[in-house]
Amino acid sequence: MKLQSKNLHITNSDKLNYLIPREIPENSSPAIFLHGFTGSASDWLPISKNLDERFYPVIPDLPGHGQTNVNSEYYSTSEQLKLVTKLLNSLKIEKACFVGYSMGGRLALQFAVNNPQMIKCLVLESSSPGIADDFERSKRIESDNKIIERIDKSTREEFLKFWLSLPIFQSLVSNSKINLEEIIKSRSQTLNKNGLIESLTYFGTGVMPHYHDQLSSLDDIPLLLIAGEHDLKYREILKKLHSEIKSSSFFTINDAGHNTHLENPAEFIKLLNRFLVDNC
């Protein structure tokens, strides 16, 4: 089966694009993959192609990214949760496995907290439940506003080079197996500057609701937390999350930083498949 790119039409002008990369085997379970900031559904294709045959991937372009085209009203946390629900309902999916990376992990966690009955299991890669401290939230909003200014004043390629030069991606830049120029070239083809600005404005870590006081709703959901060996910040965040959620397990992926599924895909897919088969 060829790669299927489909649209969920929200209104006459608003659409959510998503990929179903392969045939859907009988009696298989859906796995929803959610990408990170500046990414798109295609980021997950190398992983989804190696997904255990007992599961089939559904990969949306989140608002502001890829080929999804929605108005500003759909960028807030509450509206993005509604979009995910509409996507599942359109595909007649009552319950699914969710795999989210960074920004996509935040959305996956929020969806699980608000819709635990629709979650078979949850995988969070290099993500967080938000920022609880008001001072830290204001600092993050200030930081994101500076990034918004950078997006506005830069070309797409210039911004991607800046974004991938941030300390959190240091191991990605120094990874000799990664063709950074190819990543920048590929992403810049679909990158939507206005979409990224809207995404940070309405769904940045500083403005989204934090979920620290609602984590108990995940206690009965199998949860896999993944961080990269070189990503000290998110290793600590996810270790703390692991200590707070009794159903969770935590793993560090070697030779990887923030984007573990890109830097060490073999270890990532091995870990993911084992977790899905055992828990979903």
Structural domains of the chain sorted by starting position, each given as residue range(s) with its CATH number in brackets: 4-132+209-279 (3.40.50.1820)
- Of residues 190 and 57, which shows the higher confidence score? 57
| pLDDT tens-digit series, residues 81-117 | 999 999 999 999 999 999 999 999 999 999 999 999 9
pLDDT at residue 176 above 90?
A: no
In the prediction, which pLDDT does 22 show?
83
- Rounded to 5 degrees, φ, ψ at 250 are -125, 130
In the prediction, which pLDDT does 1 show?
46
Average pLDDT, the chain: 94
Angle, alpha carbons 249-106-280 (nearest 5°): 45
Q: Taking Cα atoms as reference points, which of 55, 113, 112 lies closest to residue 280?
A: 55
Q: Using pLDDT thresholds of 50, 70 and 90, give the confidence band for residue 12.
A: confident
| pLDDT tens-digit series, residues 192-237 | 999 999 999 999 999 999 999 999 989 999 999 999 999 999 999 9
In the prediction, which pLDDT does 2 show?
54
Q: Using pLDDT thresholds of 50, 70 and 90, give the confidence band for residue 68.
A: very high
Which pTM value belongs to this model?
A: 0.96
Q: What is the mean pLDDT of residues 242-248?
A: 93
In the prediction, which pLDDT does 3 show?
62
- Could you tell me the two tokens for 100? 């989210």
In the prediction, which pLDDT does 199 show?
97
Phi-psi bin for 279: left (phi > 0), alpha (psi -120 to 50), beta? alpha
pLDDT at residue 280 above 90?
A: no
User: Percent of the chain beyond pLDDT 90?
Assistant: 85
pLDDT at residue 23 above 90?
A: no
In the prediction, which pLDDT does 4 show?
66
| pLDDT tens-digit series, residues 230-243 | 999 999 999 999 99
| pLDDT tens-digit series, residues 109-144 | 999 999 999 999 999 999 999 999 999 999 999 999
Residue 77, CB half-sphere, CA atoms under 13 Å: how many? 21
- Could you tell me the two tokens for 159? 């911004």
